[in-house]
Amino acid sequence: MKSTAHIKPEGVEIAETILLPGDPLRAKFIAETFLTDVVQFNTVRNMYGFTGTYNGKRISVMGTGMGMPSIGIYSWELINVFGCKNLIRIGSCGAMQKELNLYDVVIGMGASTNSNYACQYNFQGTYSAIASWDLLNKAVKVAESKEIPVTVGNILSSDIFYNADPNAMKAWMDMGVLAVEMEAAALYMNAAKFGVNALCILTVSDSLITHEETTPEERQTAFTKMMEIALELA
């Protein structure tokens, strides 16, 4: 039976399409709310993973934790050990543009970053981490069919949550970056490296402009529109 130090399915199937929230309790909520015939495939480090059925198709969901090192580990193993082909991050983000409000859905066409994650590839330049067109195109069409407004564009995957520089986000905002989160760039790079599909769908949980914010409970259970879009991509 396939297993790693971080994922031990004990023979339970992990589907080719997997949703990846940062919060393992969000993974549990999705499995219990949207999926049928659910089987848990991971409990290691309390990073819960589940496989079930949605509209007749098998789909998995698993937490990844916070930050690029964490999603980098889990996505690498899901791709290279367990054969996942479509990896869809669903998470929260901080709005960096005034037109974005709490609960708005943002899709990351590209993921800029202040991380050194790409250094491992020895690029002689700057790599642009982008989503898979197939998943991005499908997600936009699903959102349109469900009449869910989405904003598509560049996001920032930051290594720093509490930044000592109070002006650190200004340059990114001036370049039109929509929102900040902490994982997508590593996911996009791993997917590109190993020839699979990846997409990041986010819900605005707070605003760097208005300083409004949602509660932890709302971030765990109330961000359902992005979940509905992601589930249709199976």
What residues act catalytically? Answer: 206
3-state secondary structure of 207: strand
Distance, in Å, from the CA atom of 123 to the CA atom of 199, rounded to the nearest integer, reads: 23
Helix (H, G, I), strand (E, B) or coil at 173: helix
Distances (CA, A) of 54 to 24, 91, 227: 19, 20, 12
Q: Residue written as tokens 């549990």? A: 28
Phi/psi of residue 11, nearest 5 degrees = 90, -5
DSSP 38-71: EEEEE-GGG--EEEEEETTEEEEEE---SSHHHH
**Between the CA of residue 196 and those of 18, 87, 132, 192, 207, what are the distances in Å?**
12, 8, 8, 6, 32
SS3 content of the chain, % helix, strand, coil (to 5): 30, 30, 40
Coil, strand or helix at 74: helix
Whether residue 48 contacts residue 9, with contact meaning beta carbons closer than 8 Å, is answered with no
